[in-house]
Amino acid sequence: MINLYSTQIESLSIHKIGNKSRNENIFLSDTPYALNDELTALLKEYFFKPFREKEENYFQFTNEVDVEFNPLYKIVTEIFNNPSSAHEKSKRIASLLYEQSQHPHIKSGEVYIVYLDNLTIDNEKTSAVGIFKSELKYDFLQFEEKGTNIGLLHQQGVNLNKLDKGCLIFNHKKEEGYKILSVDSNRYDTKYWLEHFLGVEAFEDENFYTKKYMKFCQDFAKDVVLPAEDKKEEVMFMNRAVNHFAKNDTFEESAFLNEVIDNPDLIPEFKHYKTEKAPKYHIEDLTEFPIANTAVSAARKKIKNTINLDTNIQIKMDFINPESAEKFVEKGWDEEKQMYYYLVYFNKEQKD
């Protein structure tokens, strides 16, 4: 979890980079930008808003040989070691981005490189380096009084409600390649920002493992439980799985299987499915890990808990109380109508 509420911008450098393949230039500012209180408030909202609204999916710097050879990792480490060098180092960061701006679809734009202090991540107060890029320009009108009339002036500028690209590199978990958050609103070249410039991969922590294992369970439910049982059992399997994650601090696979899988015949199917599919989810050897509550809450919102019937009727299960569906919903076959049915027991209808 991050907290950006008290974050202070200690240094801001603004540069402009073009598309190198179109022979567009790079412009590097000589000095940092001098901020005032009003502009600082606007920029903090512009820079940080996407990260408050976005699910926290962390990345880390990587390199096929060693993370020390990742050029951006080296520059950022130098800034953390000597914050007063942030502006000079920002020129190297902008130049690095310019070198990667060679895809024909990459747009020119302004790059904002900030040194930040007083952030909180994982309950630890730390500093960070933010790298942001504005690409799209929008039309807007300025008004001015000319004698007895109002004049219109057409200009173009940046929309402060939409950050095109950005990342926050926290001075945290340095040995693993730092913890990094990234946003990219204009994904015309998905490799440009994350792979070519940042050089990152997913940060494998409890949040990563919880999300990946729950996604694996969701696909197992769809690919194995549904064909072997029915839609109700698919929903109920995920119901039990989500609740197992929600009520435990640590995941242990054998306990999970014993609690979540009702049909013993599906346990070997689960193990076979994991052997076959695990590399896709990066859970090959994963049988025990701390559970991230934030990942469970996010997954709960995304998992469908509704049975859609071809008679235009929906039955919605409750992920909070899965035992209700087990006790009070029965599936059967009506010989006379030659149709399946669900029998639902209740005492009274709930008021809206």
Q: What is the pLDDT of residues 234-268, one digit of tens each?
A: 888 888 898 899 999 999 999 999 999 888 888 99
- Residue position matching structure tokens 């540069």: 15
Give the total residue count for the chain. Answer: 352
Helix segments in the chain, DSSP class H: 37-53, 71-81, 86-99, 190-191, 206-220, 226-228, 231-247, 253-260, 266-281, 293-302, 322-328
Q: At what angle do helices 206-220 and 231-247 cross, to 10 degrees?
A: 160
Q: At what angle do helices 206-220 and 293-302 cross, to 10 degrees?
A: 30
CB atoms within 10 A of CB 40: 13
- Distance, CA of 296 to CA of 282 (rounded, Å): 18
CB atoms within 10 A of CB 285: 6
Domain boundaries, the chain: 2-203, 207-344
- Distance, CA of 336 to CA of 302 (rounded, Å): 38
Tokens matching residue 148: 């007895």
- Distance, CA of 16 to CA of 98 (rounded, Å): 9
The pLDDT of residue 318 is: 64
Residue with the larger pLDDT of the pair 29 and 234: 29
Alpha carbon distances (Å) from 275 to 210, 229, 278: 18, 22, 6
- Distance, CA of 293 to CA of 162 (rounded, Å): 29
- Distance, CA of 317 to CA of 237 (rounded, Å): 11
- Distance, CA of 311 to CA of 128 (rounded, Å): 55
- Distance, CA of 50 to CA of 167 (rounded, Å): 10
* Vertex 210: Cα angle to 192 and 264 (nearest 5): 130
**Whether 78 contacts 89, CB under 8 Å:** yes
**Whether 180 contacts 59, CB under 8 Å:** yes
C-alpha 296, offset from chain centre: 14
**Whether 260 contacts 322, CB under 8 Å:** no
How would residue 57 be classed by pLDDT, with cut points 50, 70 and 90? confident
pLDDT 10s digits, 128-163:
999 999 999 999 999 999 889 999 999 999 999 999
* Percent of the chain with pLDDT strictly greater than 90: 60
Alpha carbon distances (Å) from 251 to 207, 238, 275, 347: 12, 15, 18, 36
- Residue range 293-311: mean pLDDT, rounded: 80
How would residue 191 be classed by pLDDT, with cut points 50, 70 and 90? confident
pLDDT exceeds 90 at position 210: yes
Helix (H) or strand (E) holding 143: strand 138-146
The residue among 40, 195, 39 whose CA lies nearest residue 116 is: 40
C-alpha 218, offset from chain centre: 19
Alpha carbon distances (Å) from 61 to 64, 73, 162, 254: 11, 6, 25, 34
Any idea which of 35-49, 75-89, 104-118, 338-352 has the lowest mean pLDDT?
Answer: 338-352
